[in-house]
Amino acid sequence: MGQSTDALLVYGYHLGGGDGWELEGLGEYGELPALPWYDSEDEGDDFQGAAERRLLAQLAGFTEVWQPGSDGYFDREREAKAALGVELETHCSGSYPMYLLIAKGITAYRGEVEPIDFAALAAEVEEKGADSKLRAALDALGITPKQPRPGWLLCSYWGI
């Protein structure tokens, strides 16, 4: 068993996490505002999972819940996620995740080198309409990042 120490280059928004949200409208003690799709007191519900379900329902119309015998469920879920054009990614550590809402991500795993062509990446996010997809996702989630617009973010991840 090893430790992953990865670098992430992503295009999107830094949302922060439990130890410090990077969102507007936080409570007096830095807690998330009331969100109809997430109950921070429900220990069985994680932010990333709840946010993904919200995005799939609101933006892709995918509300199916897996049950035994749900033939093709994972294929349908994968197609719905691809249609979103955005995803939630974690950084920081597996024990204390911080969240990113991204339209593009590149991971350099420990010991690897990833060449970066910034011109090609910029053209790709523009061609895919990344900014409008990210805006639609923020609207569906009902959150406003402190970051004024999406951008390229370099992050780290340390986990198991």
Give 10-residue mean pLDDT values along the chain (160 residues). Answer: 80 91 92 88 79 96 88 92 95 89 94 93 96 98 97 88
**Distance of alpha carbon 1 from its chain centroid, rounded?**
26
Q: Are 104 and 124 in contact, with CB atoms under 8 Å apart?
A: yes
Has residue 92 been placed in a domain? yes
Question: Which pLDDT score, from 0 to 100, does residue 19 have?
Answer: 76
Has residue 60 been placed in a domain? no
Burial category of 118 from C-beta neighbours within 10 Å (exposed 0-12, middle 13-18, buried 19 and up):
exposed
Question: Which pLDDT score, from 0 to 100, does residue 71 have?
Answer: 85
- Give the range of the structural domain holding residue 112, as residue numbers without chain letter: 4-39+85-159
Q: What is the DSSP string of 5-62?
A: EEEEEEEEEEEEETTEE-BSS--TTSPPPPBTTB-TT-TT--HHHHHHHHHHHHHH--
Has residue 66 been placed in a domain? no
Has residue 112 been placed in a domain? yes
Whether this model's pTM surpasses 0.85 = yes
Question: Which pLDDT score, from 0 to 100, does residue 3 have?
Answer: 67
DSSP 3-state of 134: helix
Has residue 62 been placed in a domain? no
Has residue 70 been placed in a domain? no
Number of domains making up the chain = 1
Has residue 61 been placed in a domain? no
Has residue 114 been placed in a domain? yes
